[in-house]
Amino acid sequence: MMVPPVQVSPFIKMARYSALLAGILYGKTRCEYLKPIAEEDRRIEAEEKKKREELERIAKQLAEAEDSILK
């Protein structure tokens, strides 16, 4: 058996929508603040990945050179 809906105070409605709006604005500003930091982290990670791949390539070439010299 369903209970009929309760009349909610206009003050409570206003407080809930105000909190919702404040949360949306906070999230937007926080995202704008963190976006450049994340881009910098991605750029640094890409540079480190290039260096790591270059070192792996050199190590592989050295390993192949040692194999060919020993054979």
- Whether pTM exceeds 0.85: no
Where do the domains of the chain lie? 11-71
Condensed to tens digits (0 to 9), the pLDDT of residues 45-71 reads 999 999 999 999 999 988 887 776 655
35-43: long-range pairs with CB below 8 Å, 24+: none
- Between CA 55 and CA 59, with CA 56 as vertex, the angle to 5 degrees is 85
Token digits of residue 39: 């881009």
Task: Assign 2 a pLDDT band (cuts: 50, 70, 90).
Answer: confident
CA–CA gap between residue 59 and residue 66 (Å, rounded): 11
Task: Assign 5 a pLDDT band (cuts: 50, 70, 90).
Answer: confident
